[in-house]
Structure 1
């Protein structure tokens, strides 16, 4: 199992996360579906290192299916949106 640091995200026109990654890493970009599978099967973990703390990326079941999320603070917004584009 690898512990993968994520620094960037790819978003579609609606702002939904479609991939995560870190430029220059052999595994990057990692498609959303593949990252979800990695997390659920405990093959790899993914995290974002914010200035104030490390936060794990987790899988959430939403109204339109599974998606990736990290909670940087006490807000309900998806903080992966705050990452630079991949």
Structure 2
């Protein structure tokens, strides 16, 4: 299992996360469905850690329209997947 740091995200026109990214990594970009499968099967973990903040894990959430990715809430909005730059 590998820990994969996420530094950017792809978003659709509604702002929903469609992929996770980190420049220079062979796994990047990782499509949402693949990242969900990685997390649920224990293959890889994904996390966000902006300078000066704690590591925040990316989790799979069951929503009304299906599964989606969400970072664990903390005191810094810089760690929110929605707030990361586009990839």
**Structure 1 length normalisation: TM-score?**
0.91
Q: 1:41 is matched with which residue? A: 41
Find the residue that maps to 2:53 and give its secondary structure: coil
Runs of 4+ in 1 over 4 A off after TM superposition: none
Deviation for aligned residue 1:71? 2.2
Q: 2:58 is matched with which residue? A: 57
Q: How many residues align?
A: 84
Find the residue that maps to 1:35 and give its secondary structure: helix
Deviation for aligned residue 1:72? 3.6
Q: 1:82 is matched with which residue? A: 83
Find the residue that maps to 1:69 and give its secondary structure: strand
RMSD of aligned Cα (Å): 1.7
**Structure 2 length normalisation: TM-score?**
0.90
Unpaired stretches in structure 2, ≥5 consecutive residues: none
